[in-house]
Amino acid sequence: MELQFNADEIAFREEVRAFITDNLTEEMKQGMLRGGYLIRDHVIEWQRILNKKGWGVPHWPVEWGGAGWSPIKQSIFTEELQLAPAPRPLSFSVYMVGPVIIEFGSEVQKKRFLPRIANSDDWWCQGFSEPDAGSDLASLKTNARREEGYYIVNGQKTWTSYAQYADWIFCLVRTDPTVKKQMGISFLLIDMKTPGIIVRPIQTIDGGHEVNEVFFDNVKVPVENLVGEENKGWDYAKFLLSAERVNLARLGVSKERLQRARELAARTPYQGRPLLEHAGFRTKIAALEVELKALEITQLRVLSAEGQSHGAPDPASSILKVKGSELQQATSNLLVQILGPDALRRQEDAFDDWSSMITANYFNWRKVSIFGGSNEIQKTIIAKSILGL
């Protein structure tokens, strides 16, 4: 495996940087710097700018709008978006349900949904977790009963990110309660405007409204909205979650946060000189840089192996998820440490545009080691599939 970028890949990175510089508005960039949360209008506008360029869904097959890039170029592209920082594509649409429809959906579903996903004409959310089915997702109880050309769906989903904006939700539902729990699950595409769907907000620890509860009360879903085969949904979910865990490494996000830590430390006085000049602090920065480099190399190893697994989830993606989430938390923790007592300031009293959001980000990012499959579950996968324990 080659661990250095070749001339073509270096030139590609410069092309991506130039495009972002020329097209990313200051309003979008500042929105990301002030918190990094998804701002709906920014996400849609930026996705359409990328799609017009042919970069909206570069990892998809060319026939459905993909750019034909290698996995390495796809990684470079994602990292540069995170470094800018630019609004990230809506993961639920572009990285989750889109690839599932491409791999397992009908031709009708592909023609109906994929162009709209690529251009952000539809906003999707993910209906997986339930009050009693989080890390043990296969224990889900939301059920779908088939009758007269419809599935009648009843149940509840929780921690549903951005459901308040969603046009559609992709759901795991139980269609056969008599078999082993993983074997009786199906994958449905549900229009959020369907009667019987109720969305209730959940306020997160940082005071934001990012997640929701979603209730289904005799919701009628056309049978043609079933992806693939009935009771095969667990296979499709594993396919989706493997791709999600690779993206959850968010290498560029941690790099961008570490750069912000340097900038903030350079103008934060400590014992008569900038904090950045103190050996103890530089040691913390260096330790995180080493871990980021190790994560980057691991990500390159996973990417170089793509295409050889024939669609099977790569257990090494669990390493990316575990370490990537730990580093995201570590960089947010470092920023709070730099602020010290100033981390408790109200937003209107903050000394620059983005420092006021550091504490909110710190609290919000406690979740990254939980979603996408908790780190404890991922360590079990690593132990079994990689270490053979």
Catalytic residues: 244
β-bridge mates for residue 126, sequence order: 170
β-bridge mates for residue 146, sequence order: 151
Distance, CA of 192 to CA of 98 (rounded, Å): 17
Give residue 162's identity as a one-letter amino acid code.
Answer: Y
Q: What does the block give as tokens for 7?
A: 């001339």
Number of Cβ within a 10 Å radius of residue 103: 14
Sign of CA dihedral 245, 247, 252, 254: negative
Q: For residues 174 and 182, is the Cβ–Cβ distance under 8 A?
A: no
Q: What does the block give as tokens for 294?
A: 């190790």
Q: For residues 108 and 143, is the Cβ–Cβ distance under 8 A?
A: no
Instruction: Output the CA torsion 66→98→305→293 (10° steps).
Output: 90
